[in-house]
Structure 1
Amino acid sequence: MERILFTDQPVLHPATLPGMRDRTITIGSVSKEYRMIGWRVGWIVGPRAIMADIGLVSLTNVVCQVGIGMSGAAAALTAIDDGVAAARATWRTRRDLILDELSDLPVVRPDGGWSLLIDTATLGLSPDKASRLAFKDGEIAATPMTGWGSPDRAGRYLRFVYANEPVDRLRGIRERLRKAWSV
């Protein structure tokens, strides 16, 4: 997701730092940047000494790609205008709207991507309960981050994905959460 940044800062690749080229493994995919979710087409670049082992692991853990997935990825990667800049602008607009609307809540400000987190534990709600209430009373689908990391950290957060939500649907999200969570 290195091209889905809102900071206008250049991406710092660890492999470009002194002494790090032979110690860095880079994994990429068309799934996020190119909006090809579920296509599972990607790549791994790293030091020659470890790539043979990575290849063996990949053979037993990765399903072979269907032809349309590989052709679609090739088209995205070689397009003159791949649409990433336009998508990034759209996602930034959506992110900015949500941040504005939820400014009084404990939101983790994302500098890229197309989702954000709210620390629902700070509000006295478990992420599971916050998710259920948001869906039932606020008509908002959000994912508890339970199980996505250490329980003391990830277990505090609820994830909102705004990748495909139109701005008109995002407007009023604060009122819907106020109704659902009584905060």
Structure 2
Amino acid sequence: MIDYSSLISDKARTIKPSGIRKFFDIVNTMDDAISLGVGEPDFQTPWQIRRAGIASLQQGKTFYTSNWGLADLRKEIAKYAWENYHLEYDYHKEIIVTVGGSEAIDNALRSFVSEGDEVLIPEPSFVCYTPLTIMAGGTPVPLKTRMEDGFKLTAKTLKEAITPRTKVLIMPFPNNPTGAIMTREELEKIAAVLRSTNIIVISDEIYCELTYGGKKHVCFAELPGMRERTIVINGFSKSYAMTGWRLGWVMAPKEMLAPLVKIHQFGIMSAPTVSQFAGIEAMRTGQDDIAYMRDQYDMRRRFMYTRLQEIGMPCFEPEGAFYIFPSIQKYMEDDEEFCDRLLRSKKVAVVPGSAFGESGRGHIRISYSYSMMHLETAMERIEEFVNEL
């Protein structure tokens, strides 16, 4: 009999399963349950984008692409960077197409993190940063953000966390799970701390198109002196409702992209060809679709914030992404128990804030990327639940 436990690597053993997927899996076994737990747009990929993917299959375009991705897609990404941020990237050597943003984050960390290097991670934030840092051999260092500060990273917090072992700072804005964004003025203060260091920035900007209240996303590489140290990660999943297409991209100086391409080359080879053809169409014709979806998310955002206030659940008003992050501490200390009891008694799935780091403890993440009908019903059930508590 094989002792499988003795064969598992130390790093794989260290990593905890995703706190998001745990509740998602339970929901799938329940009738009439409402899941507000996964960051999955309820919109279909716009038809003209799907049609471009279908056409590529009909035309027999089922070959491997370059490791870097289709040249036409990289040209569109370069055009996007210039038109939106006045950033110039050479599509030949400074842009690579990846299998979603998650592969890009993994490859970026493995490209620059050696054993013992410290990676600064603002928390609460996306669940993959810490395990991927550990898999790369690094030491994750959480940087606590607070609801009172709008869940923003402050220059003071950053400066106090930097040590001689600090190699990477992850900038996860707009933020999952809090919905926080950072203004140009706030980002400038972060940049001022970094200018005298040799720290690399991985800027995860997957929600860049989803900001509200007239606020426009600022790409971290836009700031003076930051392009040369910043790996910008983005993708199609959230903005274009293309989660299942698994398509992302990385922009960085060619010297920084070279090691990343090697890892991508051996681990993945190339992103799916059909997805890349769809991505070209998305970048050329998808802006109206983004605007429509953003307006719908904004309506849902305002509804959720108002309802949570009415129910009496303290929360920060999100300014980006499609999540809201209320506190449940007036009702219960254990956020995981809160989510478990809510799911089993009212059949509503949300995610415990502690899944996003210790800084998220005492909160829950609710995704409003679902229909108004589902949101209205879910909020009625949540109100019943907290009243019973």
Q: Provide TM-score, normalisation by structure 1.
A: 0.86
CA contact (8 A) 1:137 1:179 kept: no
In the alignment, structure 2 segments of 5+ residues that lack a partner are 1-206
Percent of aligned pairs sharing the same letter = 22
Name the structure 2 match of 1:23: 229
Q: Which amino acid aligns with 2:349?
A: A
The answer on 1:148 being equivalent to 2:356 is yes
For residues 48-68 of structure 1, the C-alpha deviation after alignment (integer angstroms, 9 at most, x for no partner) is 221101212333454743332
Q: Which runs of 5+ in 1 are unaligned?
A: none
Residues 25, 85 of structure 1: alpha-carbon distance in 2 compared, 3 angstrom cutoff:
same
Find the structure with the greater CA-based Rg. Answer: 2
Matches of 1:157 and 1:62, distance apart in 2: 36
Question: One-letter code of the match for 1:41?
Answer: L
Match for residue 274 of structure 2? 68
- Secondary structure of 2:329's counterpart equals helix
1:44 matched residue in structure 2:
250
Report the Cα offset of residue 122 of structure 1. 4.4
Deviation at 1:8, TM superposition (A): 0.9
CA contact (8 A) 1:7 1:112 kept: no
TM-score, scaled relative to structure 2:
0.43
Aligned to 2:375: 170
Instruction: Answer yes or no: is 1:83 the counterpart of 2:289.
Output: yes
Q: Cα 1:39–1:125, aligned 2, differ >3 Å: closer, same or farther?
A: farther
* Matched letter for residue 66 of structure 1: P
- Superposed CA offset, 1:26-58 (max 9, x none): 111001111111322111111222110121233
Superposition deviation, residue 74 in structure 1: 1.6
Q: Which residue of 1 aligns with 2:195?
A: none
Size of the aligned set, in residue pairs, is 180
Paired AA for residue 321 in structure 2: G
Q: Deviations over 1:50-102 (max 9, x none)?
A: 11012123334547433322222221111164400000000011111111111
Q: What's the counterpart of residue 124 of structure 1? A: 332
Could you tell me how far 1:170 is from its partner in structure 2?
1.9
Considering Cα pairs closer than 8 Å and 6+ residues apart, tell me whether 1 or 2 has the greater RCO.
Answer: 2
In the TM superposition, what whole-angstrom CA distance separates every residue of 1:107-157 from its partner, at most 9, and x where no partner exists?
2321011111122234324221121222223332212233422x2x12332
The CA distance in 1 between the partners of 2:360 and 2:340, in whole Å, is 17
Deviation, 1:25, is: 1.4
| Distance in 1, Cα, partners of 2:242 & 2:233 | 16
Q: Indicate the SS of the match to 1:130.
A: helix
Distance in structure 2 (CA, Å) of the matches to 1:143 and 1:5: 22
- For the aligned residue pairs, the C-alpha RMSD in angstroms reads 2.1
Task: Pick from 42, 52, 56 the counterpart of residue 262 of structure 2.
Answer: 56
Amino acid of the residue matched to residue 116 of structure 1? I
Equivalent of 1:106 in 306, 310, 314: 314
Q: Is the 8 A contact 2:240 2:286 kept in 1?
A: no
Distance 1:135 1:147, change over 3 A: closer
State the alpha-carbon separation in 2 of the partners of residues 82 and 93 from structure 1: 17
Give the distance between the partners of 1:75 and 1:57, measured in 2 at CA: 27
